[in-house]
Structure 1
Amino acid sequence: MTEHQDNSRPHMTLSMIVRNEEHRYLRQALETHRPWIDRAVIIDDGSTDGTVSMCREILQDIPLLLVENSTPQFADEVSLRKQQWQATISTKPEWILNLDADEILTPDFGVIRDQLLSGEEDAIYFRLFDMWSETSYREDQYWQAHAYYRPFLIRYRHDWDYEWKETPQHCGRFPLTIQHFSYACHVPRVKHYGWAREEDRIRKVERYQALDPDARYGWKEQYESILDPEPRLLPWLE
């Protein structure tokens, strides 16, 4: 019996949006998370590389719903997130782990997985660290996401009505409704590698300049700080 067939543990579905991730962090993310999940729902938002094949390869013996968008929808993030949500809840999930393709949970999650998912809370919160390299994360007045806990894992409540933050950028990975769920904050951390390479930082700046030039949905000073030549970095400690 493979790990995803273990009916004795709480059932968890990985929900993810991917786009041209073949040469970034997708393999590391899927290989890290696959022992903990029982199903995966992935929206491929118009990849032109081997992302889809990589998903199928790594998750080949795990039930997988893979939706391929012929035209990228990332310019309207809330529509893309709604698509991800609807595809995920169509599988009747028990727990939903919502991670991006460049976000990786620390291994200590695996040790307490079943304990967390067997608790009374309907949402599990972790801290996210914006990695600025493979070994350090950024911390300054503009970059301190790790100072706060945020939801990455929720129990799906089919009897609730869900509403979204209706903005084309920075709409959140889950519906706003989950803010009313009972929740608990826990020790495992999320390493976010979206800023870890200079080429990724440049690409993000170009994206924000195109999609949010007036910083209507984000923070102008933070956008401008992305390419700081000497940001304050702290070493990542396991």
Structure 2
Amino acid sequence: MPKLTAMMIVRNEADRYLERCLKSLSVYADEIVILDDASTDATPELCASFPAVKLYRRETSLFLIDESRLRRELWDYTVATNPEWILALDADELLEERAAREIPYLLRQDLFTAVGFRLFDCWGGEEYYRVDGLWSPWLRGFSIYLVKYQPNLPAAWPEQAFHCGRLPLAYRRLPYLESDLRIKHLGWANPAEIRWKYKRAVGRDPTFKYQPREHYESILWPPEKIQLEKWR
């Protein structure tokens, strides 16, 4: 079986979804490379409790200052494990359970060197996801999360402090397989987090360079205006 290395950046995730994410990844990933961005809670200890994890820690946080540099650091640590394939997930994202059966096929197929998945934003809980506006997984379409490591490709990111992407630019331009595996994104599942996440997003993008203003404002829409579908 080709070697799969998962990678992620974490910061203060101990009391959120990280443990579930790592348990899920441990089923099908050979290694999980984690760059801890100066957590002040028990996140590092939680990561280290998983045998598959290779943990690296920063003493000062970089995510809100220079995300592209942080992503490059994570990439360098990841490729040092000699992976054949690399999976880029965040600490609040889960591939659905059947990934344990599907991932081996995706790693063995030789028609594509990249695989795209749709991301579903759970909203106000885990049973429903948003389908209005740019939240719609069908309107947003597929994004590449799984790639075959190719040392000849440049490992460059756009020089952006925010929304720089989780994979090098060259990998995002590869022809890719559209997988029907879904990513369950839990970042908006807790109603108590929605307002502060809105403030953080707008604070980092006050001129609406990376997302339309209407999309940011839709974060705070009243429940009757939000369109949801049940996760099945």
CA contact (8 A) 1:142 1:221 kept: no
Q: Which moved more, 1:73-82 or 1:143-152?
A: 143-152
* Structure-2 separation of matches of 1:159 and 1:175: 12
Q: Percent identical across equivalent pairs?
A: 39
Report 1:14-33 matches (<5 A): 14-33=6-25
RMSD after superposition: 1.3
The alpha carbon displacement at 1:106 in A equals: 0.6
* Structure-2 separation of matches of 1:208 and 1:126: 24
Other structure's SS at 2:32 match: strand
Show the counterpart of 1:125.
116
Show the counterpart of 1:157.
150
Pairing partner for 1:68 from 57, 77, 102: 57
Pairing partner for 1:94 from 69, 84, 101: 84
Show the counterpart of 2:175.
182
* Structure-2 separation of matches of 1:136 and 1:113: 25
The number of residue pairs the alignment matches comes to 226
* Structure-2 separation of matches of 1:146 and 1:83: 32
* Structure-2 separation of matches of 1:180 and 1:194: 26
Structure 2 residue 149 is matched with structure 1 residue 136 = no
The alpha carbon displacement at 1:181 in A equals: 2.2
Q: Deviations over 1:67-92 (max 9, x none)?
A: 11111111122121111111111222
Unaligned runs of 5+ in 2: none
* Structure-2 separation of matches of 1:80 and 1:145: 27
* Structure-2 separation of matches of 1:15 and 1:42: 6
CA contact (8 A) 2:126 2:189 kept: yes
Report 1:1-238 matches (<5 A): 9-57=1-49, 59-60=50-51, 62=52, 64-75=53-64, 76-120=66-110, 121-132=112-123, 133-147=125-139, 148-230=141-223, 231-237=226-232
What amino acid maps onto 2:222 in structure 1?
P
* Structure-1 separation of matches of 2:32 and 2:201: 29
* Structure-2 separation of matches of 1:112 and 1:140: 29
* Structure-2 separation of matches of 1:74 and 1:233: 30
What amino acid maps onto 2:113 in structure 1?
D
What amino acid maps onto 2:221 in structure 1?
D
CA contact (8 A) 1:10 1:117 kept: yes
TM-score under structure 1 length normalisation: 0.90
Unaligned runs of 5+ in 1: 1-8
The alpha carbon displacement at 1:146 in A equals: 4.3
What amino acid maps onto 2:44 in structure 1?
V
